[in-house]
Amino acid sequence: MLLLAVIALIVVGPQKLPRIARTLGQLTRQARNAWQGLQSELQAELDAEHNREIMDSTREMMNKAAGRSEPEDKASEESTDAAEETGDRSERR
């Protein structure tokens, strides 16, 4: 690290070095913040997916315990589909 600082001092010069160091610090901070934001978004999405899986498995266990053969969501979808199908037939006549 010290070797890089000495080379930068020789190449850039003592007058421009503080400005370049400040700019590099700002760019490093922006890159770190962007990476942390990406990580937190990814973690939030993974947590949400994990929570959905837990809720689905819990719902399945409760349905089995109650003696139901299929989840409520599928049963309600099928009844909705049947009602729509009947409605479509009546509109065609």
Ordered mean pLDDT values, 10 residues apiece, the chain (93 residues): 87 89 94 95 90 91 78 52 51 47
Distance CA 65, CA 46 (A): 29
pLDDT at 71: 52
Residue 75: which residues within 8 A CB-CB, separation 6 or more? 68
Nearest residue to 37 (alpha-carbon basis) of 45, 22, 50, 52: 45
pLDDT at 92: 47
pLDDT at 66: 85
pLDDT at 3: 92
